[in-house]
Amino acid sequence: MKKLMLLVAGGVGYVLGTKAGRERYEQIKRTATRVKDDPRVQEKAHHAADLAKEKAPLVKEKVTTAASAAADKVTPSGNGHKSDLEDQLNPDSVARQDNPYPQGDLP
């Protein structure tokens, strides 16, 4: 799959950067259309889409588990002390400034 993406990117870059003129562009376009419409390519594309649909629940579960584990690492421990970030975000905190943008004399 990585090789295919590399070939496609290379082809697009060549088409966009070529100075061979309209005739070469049309030739590349015809070839790309033939490849895209090839039944073997269509079969592989459908197979890849079906595989992605099949694996989506598993991927969702793994992402959810990883996100949960990451969230557990960044949440404060249950030791009764608030983190500095919580103190800054708490609207009742004394760390909060009354006026974060004071109007002072400008140099």
Higher pLDDT, residue 9 or 82: 9
Question: Which residue type does 93 have?
Answer: S
Q: pTM here?
A: 0.40
Query: Do residues 94 and 82 touch, judged by C-beta distance below 8 A?
Result: no
In terms of Cα–Cα distance, which of 10, 9, 29 is closest to 21?
29
Query: Do residues 22 and 28 touch, judged by C-beta distance below 8 A?
Result: no
Q: How do residues 31-59 score in pLDDT, each as one tens digit?
A: 999 998 999 999 999 999 999 999 998 98
In terms of Cα–Cα distance, which of 39, 41, 38, 32 is closest to 12?
32
The DSSP 8-state label assigned to residue 35 in this structure reads: H
Res 8: pLDDT:
83
Share of the chain above pLDDT 70, in %: 64
